[in-house]
Chain A
Amino acid sequence: MNWEAIILTANLASIVSAILFLIGIPLAYWISFSKLRFRFLVEAVVALPLVLPPTVLGYYVLVAISPNSFLGRVYTGLFGTTLPFSFQGLVIASVLYSFPFAVQPFITSFDSVDKRFIEASWTLGASKLKTFLTIILPLSVPGVVTGLVLSFAHTLGEFGVVLMVGGNIPGVTRTVSIDIYDKVQALNYQEAGQTSLFLLIVSFTVLSVVYLINRKDLTLWHQKY
């Protein structure tokens, strides 16, 4: 097994999940609680990576971060390197690609928090931020964990976007799925099989955890009482 690729992929997935937590939670809050007239449009944009071919997404990311683009110029000005075919570029692409897997469960869980708990908190003098941190977020733990785990798992298995944006640089952008593809191309079926089995087991475990925490009788407490 190619441990370098496995560690790189795990690193990528963890960073992507962390970033999605930081930007996904406020975004989901905004979508769920502001009385947006065009909420459906925002939701459609969030869900876009679900249906777009990875090559299309990868193409746009590549164009957006190329050294000639505004974003690319700013990045090069700040760090002196370029984004395409780098780990950082891969992170940006992966965050976009896994976006709906994190944000949709966040929105769903925020939406399902009983409005009365929020209003009760307000009438008890708690600010919107305090209400979010002490009422909404604790009551949304299963949904938030689901979002993080799903985006982690989804990043583990991505292929098309990585190939478009990251290429295939060992130790930098060669993730597990690329590694498997390489091994098959080189007719090294034994190693490809080992890595595939490893990925299969990890994915199955992760999904089992998601379904376990979402089983009604195992939520941390009962919303309805």
Chain B
Amino acid sequence: MAPEILINIKKRLSGDKKISTMLIIPADSSWTVIFGSSGAGKSTILRTLAGLDRSDKGLIKFGGETWEDTENEIFIPPQERPVGLLFQDFALFPHMTVENNIIYNLPVPKEEKLKRFRELVSLFNLQGLEKRKPCSLSGGEKQKVAIARTVIRMPKLLLLDEPLSSLDLPTREILQRELKKILKKLQIPTIFVTHDRTEAIIMGDRIAVMSDGKVVQMGEVNEVFTKPDDPSVAAIVGMENVLIGDIVDRSEGLIDIKIGKSRFVALDTGVMGPKVAVCVRAEEIILEKGYVPESSARNRFFGRIIDISLQGVTVKLTLDCGFPLVVLITKRSFIDLSIQKGSKLSASIKAQAIHVFQHD
């Protein structure tokens, strides 16, 4: 059996918040994304893993090693855990040069230190920055220095705490790809915390969705995003459309759901009725100009655009079809269809793209 990372912790945070989490992650070279809105307790999990926070009650095991066991009063201090933690804003030491930051407290002989340092400088393209102070570096350079400082001591577990959130959008998109490319080479199990959906999809092999201090679903990224276990997960992972309706008919593996005056057709997954939540991801809705009466899609709605908001390369539209329907399309489609407020459009959704959950 491959070694595993076991995290089973309970911790009371300030206010009413508390964390009660049970996670088992394989300690192979895969990436696990912990995803959730801010304040869901994601960072606390990383801090507890790194030994910076103690849990009130809990057990943390890494393979055969026990890092924390409150029952047997075991607590390995952060200095002795083979963990590399990349802080949100990198936390480079401001009074040290790039070189001294990277080789800080590296417990190897001098020649080995320099050898590893030179390797990382060329791997991360940091030539010429060795003697600079962090305050004179760009966001991307700081990130590379911080990663170099973390990986030079060859940690057995890498923890990344929203490492890109402090950067502007274009830099972030470039660095997302670079970060994963570089770190994949190192073959270290990695836990990545983010509240950004795109980042979670790009970075993760598997994803753990957190809400109110609990892991509500864990699985392959695709699976979690396209088949959320329940409406709360759907809301977190970004099922923009969550509508409540009643099952009115079941036949030939399909169910008919009535929402207001409209009807939805979805695959019959055996969901119990009669009240159900219908969840649709905004990017799985196809828009066409004007009124399109026929199509292979089982669900077609006709409506007017009531809201437009630009989000980087995509555009988020709200269509009033008797109920609000949020649709995500690319900027190019947005221009090609020459959409503006009040435009009349047809929306079609395949039955498979509709996720139905029981709703009490």
Contact = CB atoms under 8 A, between A and B. Distances in A.
Interface of A: 114, 116-117, 119-127, 130, 134-135, 138-139, 220-225
Interface of B: 50-52, 77-81, 83-85, 87, 89, 91-95, 104-105, 107, 133-135, 149-150, 153
8 contacts: A119-B52, A119-B91, A120-B87, A122-B52, A123-B50, A130-B105, A135-B93, A221-B94
Contacts of B77: 122
Nearest to B87: A116
Contacts of A114: 91
Contact of A139 (B89, B95, B149): B95
Given A123-B78, A139-B94, 19 more contacts: A116-B89, A119-B78, A119-B87, A120-B87, A120-B91, A122-B77, A122-B78, A123-B51, A123-B79, A124-B104, A124-B105, A125-B79, A126-B79, A134-B105, A221-B94, A222-B94, A225-B92, A225-B94, A225-B134
Contact of A123 (B52, B95, B107, B135): B52
B95 A116 contact: no
Given A119-B52, A126-B104, A225 B78 contact: no
Query: Majority SS of interface residues in chain B?
Result: loop
Given A122-B79, A127-B79, A220 B95 contact: yes
B149 A124 contact: yes
A123 B105 contact: no
Contacts of B52: 119, 122-123
Contacts of B107: 125
A135 B100 CA distance: 12
Contacts of B84: 123
B135 A222 contact: yes
A173 B79 CA distance: 50
A225 B135 contact: yes
A148 B104 CA distance: 29
Nearest to B82: A125
Given A126-B79, A220-B95, A121 B87 contact: no
Nearest to B134: A225
Contacts of A126: 79, 104-105
